[in-house]
């Protein structure tokens, strides 16, 4: 999984996905299939994407009792995706069960999907963390604690804001994956995201992967926007 760009396919149907992917017919992308798309189309959308040689982050954020998560992951492991996730708030036993399910469900000779844990959503602000979730610790401290639990549970990394990557790198090591949503071009609207950074900022902060959606998928020219993403990541263009 060397490509650092994950394009969020935040669509409601396979037809919308096919239309979006037309300009990328000769490009192998790393794409994210979230709840909106997966719950509408089911596994068939994953099969279609794999046929076109795209890698897949199946973003379902599992969070349930350990046995339920284990059995769900056992099924997801058979779908040929490259990356899956859980909520770290489910605790160490649940995260360990997720890995057990993935290992049990991965076909013989295949590599099990990487598994990462969501620390705090990038739509969560410090005030929301305190006032609504009743977590009385600062955001960075909370995220680091969840990241440490994820590593302790054997997971491959976490989903976090790029702003938290340096702290996680320091305590969890360079090999621990950091998948960072909340990526926007500098001249884009933030929409429902709170803790956002640009692609170039995310690279400087040390993110393993950046997840970018509307900046690409809602662009008038998605392929040109993807090329801009590559240039910004490489420091060839900043706004």
Residue 238 has pLDDT above 60, yes or no: no
Overall average pLDDT of the 144-160 stretch = 98
pLDDT tens track for 40-91: 999 999 999 999 999 999 999 999 999 999 999 999 999 999 999 999 999 9
Q: How confident is the model at residue 187 (pLDDT cuts 50, 70, 90)?
A: confident
Among all residues, which ones are annotated catalytic? 61
Q: What is the mean pLDDT of the chain?
A: 94
pLDDT tens track for 99-110: 999 999 999 999
Q: How confident is the model at residue 2 (pLDDT cuts 50, 70, 90)?
A: low
Residue 239 has pLDDT above 70, yes or no: no
Q: Please give the share of the chain, as a percent, with pLDDT higher than 90.
A: 89
DSSP string, the chain: ----EEEE---SSHHHHHHHHGGGTT---EEEEEHHHHHHHTHHHHHHHHHTT-EEEEEEEE-S-HHHHHHHHHHHGGGT-SEEEEEGGG-HHHHHHHHHHHHHHSPTTSPPPEEEEE-S-TT--HHHHHHTS---S-HHHHHHHHHHHHHHTT-SEEE--GGGHHHHHHHH-TTSEEEE--B--TTS--TT-SS-B-HHHHHHHT-SEEEE-HHHHTSSSHHHHHHHHHHHHTTS---
């Amino acid at each position: 999984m060397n490509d650092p760009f994950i394009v969020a396919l935040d669509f409601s149907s396979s037809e919308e996905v096919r239309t979006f992917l037309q300009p990328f017919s000769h490009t192998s992308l790393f794409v994210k299939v979230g709840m909106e798309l997966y719950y509408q189309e089911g596994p068939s959308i994953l099969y279609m994407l794999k046929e076109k040689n795209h890698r897949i982050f199946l973003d379902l954020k599992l969070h349930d009792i350990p046995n339920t998560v284990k059995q769900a992951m056992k099924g997801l492991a058979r779908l040929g995706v490259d990356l899956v996730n859980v909520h770290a708030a489910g605790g160490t036993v649940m995260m360990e069960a997720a890995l057990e399910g993935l290992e049990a469900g991965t076909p013989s000779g295949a590599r099990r999907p990487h598994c990462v844990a969501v620390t705090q959503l990038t739509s969560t602000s410090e005030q929301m963390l305190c006032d609504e979730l009743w977590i009385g610790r600062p955001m960075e401290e909370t995220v680091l604690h969840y990241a440490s639990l994820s590593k302790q549970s054997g997971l491959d990394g976490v989903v976090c804001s790029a702003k938290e990557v340096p702290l996680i790198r320091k305590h969890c090591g360079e090999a621990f994956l950091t998948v960072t949503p909340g990526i926007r071009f500098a001249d884009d609207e933030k929409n429902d995201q709170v803790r956002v950074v640009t692609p170039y900022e995310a690279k400087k902060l040390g993110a393993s992967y950046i997840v970018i959606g509307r900046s690409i998928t809602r662009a008038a020219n998605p392929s040109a926007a993807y090329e801009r993403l590559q240039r910004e990541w490489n420091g060839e263009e900043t706004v």
